[in-house]
Amino acid sequence: MKIGSAQLHAVPRDSQPDAHRYGSFCQIVPRKPEPVPNRPRRRDQDRRPPDNTLSTNANPDRRPEVIAAKTTSERKTLVFHIGDPKTGSTSIQRALFDSAWSAPGRSIAYPDQINAQPLAMSLHDGARPKQRLTQFRKAADWLAQQSAEIAVLSSEHFAPVPPADLKAEVQHFFADKIEEIQVIAYVRPHISRLLSSYTQRVKARGLQKDLEGFFKTVSKERRFHYMPRFLAWQSEFGDAFTLRPMVRSALYRGDVVADFLHQILNSDAFTLPDQLQANTAPTLDHLACLRDVHSAIAKAGLPKDIRFTCAKYLAARLDGTNPEGPRLRLPRHLLPALQQTYSEDAAALDATFFDGTPMSDALEAAAASTTDDPQPITAEERFSLAQRQALGQLLSALGVELAKAPEQWKRSRRESKKRSGERDATSAPRVHALLDEICALFS
């Protein structure tokens, strides 16, 4: 198996005294040294076309794991799509899961679940060794059964994982099943990522801070200083690691799904349906509503997981109404501080990973989308008295119903996940009805 310019070989366990407990030990055997370029080679320059082409064999009534005839070649590339968060991962995952693409003679294997979160989480701090062993054995078994030329494992939860940990497990479990590995990440410009992450925290966790307070917190933690993290991925995986800017003008066809397929297929001979984007930014009204939902459920004394799943369900329902209304924009007075905080990181990313300066350009262009208008996200400032009263009554009833049957709600959400988000109203029907009524207030 090849990782960048290095070749991996399986070495019998007995020949290595410190062999990993999982079985055969794989080590990197470097090829003949080559001059190191100033910047990583571009994937579209490096990637060889597949040795064989496969015919498409799609069934429109059923999502197969592999849309292809079997290949006589054992050549296989494993692609890890690691995010980053807020870069269209859900759209990529949905397109692959639903096989919502067409490329004559090409094949991609994707697991029968929307993402590889359990596998990625097994690499996080606190995960039990048995959890990691189980998840990687399961992934290896799945991979061994695939005949496609490319297999993809996708989860944003790979993003914070130490790259060396993932590389070690790839060597132990996959070296005899694939010829080449690719790791692909997308990075969102700093200010856009800050705004998106703030709205996500309000939506999913009920964050009460304003945007300025959130920025002060994340800047102290250097949370959106990307360079050290992506440099670590490049250090471990070399030219097998590709970082792409989540900037529409820099994406192939201006779309992240098309760009991802272009990266892994190394071809433009594919088609996609229109409108594959999966997530939309919530309106300010929706953020205010979701904040109240979090507060009401917390006051009812219910666990956080109940609160989070309710808010997630309601947010998805609100997004599905194609809402109109103002979205959060950057206050103009914050722009100088953000540009000063992130300019060095943006320049370093541009110099190391990209042709041109997309990250620095985005930081400079942010001035065009700032605002001096107030942007309150509280119910008192956004809703009429009648709306607040109706919302308050529904939230009170919601707290009562959730307290009656919290396990039914949990079961409902688990069943929905198994069906990739499809609603299960057989459990906790009254909770679903109340959430739908809340949604109707703002549709």
Confidence band of 427 (pLDDT split at 50, 70, 90): low
Share of the chain above pLDDT 70, in %: 78
Tokens of 378: 């509280």
How many other C-beta atoms can be found within 10 angstroms of the C-beta atom of residue 307?
Answer: 21
Find all residues with CB under 8 Å of 406, minimum gap 6, and list them: 302, 303, 306
Residue 419 has pLDDT above 80, yes or no: no
Question: 3-state class of 150 per DSSP?
Answer: strand
Looking at residue 303, its pLDDT comes to 87
pLDDT digits (tens, 9 = 90+) for 263-275: 999 999 999 987 6
User: What is the spatial distance between Cα 144 and Cα 137, in angstroms, rounded to a whole number?
Assistant: 10
Give the number of other CB atoms < 10 A from CB of residue 305: 12
6-11 and 25-30 as β-strands: parallel, antiparallel, unpaired?
antiparallel
Question: How far is it, in rounded angstroms, from Cα 76 to Cα 67?
Answer: 15
Q: Is the pLDDT of residue 17 over 60?
A: no
CA angle 407, 412, 415 (to 5 degrees): 125
Closest CA to 178 of 95, 99, 80: 80
Give dist(CA 113, CA 209) in Å, integer. Answer: 35
Stronger pLDDT, 286 or 429, i.e. the higher one: 286
Give yes or no for a contact between 182 and 77, defined as CB atoms under 8 angstroms apart.
yes
Residue 399: closest CA among 301, 261, 274, 278: 301
What is d(CA 370, CA 339) in angstroms, rounded to the nearest whole number?
A: 13
Query: What integer pLDDT is reported at residue 322 of this predicted model?
Result: 63
Kindly give the residue spans of alpha helices, DSSP state H, lying in 1-128: 43-46, 89-97, 117-121
How many Cβ atoms from other residues are within 10 Å of residue 222's Cβ?
11
Which residues does residue 29 pair with via DSSP β-bridges, in sequence order? 7
Residue range 171-177: average pLDDT?
93
* pLDDT, tens digit (0-9, with 9 covering 90-100), for 343-389: 999 999 999 999 999 999 999 999 999 999 999 999 999 999 999 99
DSSP element (H, E) containing 298:
helix 284-299
Ordered by where they begin, the domains of the chain are: 2-265 (3.40.50), 284-327+383-441 (no CATH)
Give the model's pLDDT for residue 235: 97
Q: Looking at 112-126, 143-157, 381-395, 416-430, which range is the least confident one?
A: 416-430
Q: Which residues contact 233 (CB under 8 A, 6 or more apart)?
A: 82, 163, 183, 185, 241, 243
Partner residues linked to 360 by β-bridges: none
336's tokens: 């100088």
User: Is the pLDDT higher at 65 or at 202?
Assistant: 202
Q: Which amino acid is at 260?
A: F
Encoded amino acid at 148, one letter: A
417, pLDDT greater than 50 = yes
